[in-house]
């Protein structure tokens, strides 16, 4: 694995934006920006011997800060924090004090996805990004120091390793919002075959906020235990936007999902230490002039967002998402592409 750092020529909030490329012995390549920790490319060789990029995004950095794109912002390829998914009414209480967030998705108006992260020196060819979120940012308590390390193995595994510490009790639930399509020509992911080792999913209210109730997948459209085409049972107007509880011990590293596409012969496996995978088939995706001049439409991608239980900050019986001083938040997620 090698790394290559290239300036985009852009300065945001006084910091320079770089693209960092990681490559391996197979000739695969991953491109990551230190703005938003965006995974912009994941290029591998498919079963036909063709180079194929399995990530949705833009050809250059300007696309990610374009006003039209931001007006209908889908979080393409970004890290999400301090708190992913949705918090009920944007409120939570820690140590008897209530905190009111912007009632918004994925960490507020200006989350970790719109920050320029510092590039830290590393010994091996990998990329470690750091962002220090000051106390009060987006109304979250505590100064939170986050480090996210990316590695590309010679087995085409993209490894994301997160660590965070705080000086005051705070809420944290990080994830990565990478959009995948394993068909070289793009289009709907309805014909991708998807499997998830998850016997239960989390009930959501009309605002997609998790209520605390677990529902068995058996007999529902959410049953991916044996694997099926994504579009086999979905509501074609809604797709999937659902959190699944993975069938593994809490904190254990294990499989979150396995997705295959027959024309490319590619398979994406996702492994994680996190207890939940949020499966999203991009209902709200609407992006013009993306990679290669393509437009992206609803259901043209899927996301497997590994995380803790959404809204668990407000549901005591769920695993805690409060980080205390002296503790280290740590999670690892791996995206492995094979054929």
Residue 20: both structure tokens together: 């960092």
- Range list of β-strands (E), 38-143: 39-45, 51-53, 78-80, 91-94, 97-100, 118-120, 127-133
- 10 Å Cβ neighbour count for 274? 27
Q: Is 177 an annotated catalytic residue?
A: yes
Strand duo 266-272 + 228-229: pairing: unpaired
Residues 127 and 150: beta-carbon distance below 8 Å? yes
Rounded Cα–Cα distance for residues 188 and 191 (Å)? 7
Given the residues 176, 222, 305, 308, select the one marked as catalytic.
305
- Cα 45 → chain centroid: 23
Q: Is 261 an annotated catalytic residue?
A: no
Residue 310: both structure tokens together: 């959404």
Q: What is each CA distance from 140 to 83, 117, 166, 171, 208, in whole angstroms?
A: 10, 18, 11, 7, 22
Given the residues 176, 177, 278, 308, select the one marked as catalytic.
177
Task: Name the β-bridge partners of 166.
Answer: 144
- Range list of β-strands (E), 230-302: 241-245, 254-261, 266-272, 276-280
List the catalytic residues. Answer: 177, 305
């Amino acid at each position: 694995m090698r790394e290559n750092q290239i300036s985009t020529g852009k300065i945001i909030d006084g910091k320079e934006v770089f693209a960092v490329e990681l490559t391996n012995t197979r000739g695969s390549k991953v491109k990551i920006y230190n703005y938003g920790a965006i995974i912009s490319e994941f290029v591998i060789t498919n079963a036909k011997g063709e180079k194929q990029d399995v990530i949705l995004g833009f050809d250059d950095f300007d696309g990610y800060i374009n006003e039209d794109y931001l007006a209908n912002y889908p979080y393409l390829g970004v890290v999400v924090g301090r708190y992913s998914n949705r918090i009920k009414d944007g409120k939570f209480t820690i140590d008897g004090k209530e905190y009111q967030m912007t009632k918004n998705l994925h960490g507020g108006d200006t989350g970790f996805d719109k920050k320029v992260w510092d590039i830290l020196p590393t010994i091996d060819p990998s990329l470690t990004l750091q962002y220090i979120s000051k106390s009060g940012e987006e109304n979250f308590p505590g100064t939170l120091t986050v480090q996210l390390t990316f590695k590309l193995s010679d087995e085409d595994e993209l490894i994301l390793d997160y660590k965070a510490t705080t000086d005051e009790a705070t809420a944290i639930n990080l994830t990565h919002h990478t959009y995948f399509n394993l068909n070289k020509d793009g289009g709907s992911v309805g014909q991708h075959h998807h499997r998830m080792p998850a016997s239960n999913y989390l009930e959501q209210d009309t605002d997609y906020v998790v209520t605390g109730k677990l529902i068995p997948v058996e007999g529902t459209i959410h049953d991916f235990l044996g694997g099926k085409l994504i579009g086999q049972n979905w509501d074609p107007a809604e797709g999937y936007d659902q959190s699944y509880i993975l069938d593994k011990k809490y904190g254990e590293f294990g499989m979150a999902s396995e997705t295959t596409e027959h024309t490319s012969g590619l398979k994406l496996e996702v492994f994680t230490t996190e207890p939940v995978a949020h499966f999203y088939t991009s209902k709200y995706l609407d992006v013009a002039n993306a990679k290669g001049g393509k437009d992206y439409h609803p259901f043209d991608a899927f996301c497997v967002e590994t995380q803790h239980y959404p809204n668990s900050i407000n549901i005591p019986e769920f695993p805690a998402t409060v980080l205390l001083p002296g503790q280290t938040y740590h999670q690892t997620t791996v995206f492995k592409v094979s054929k």
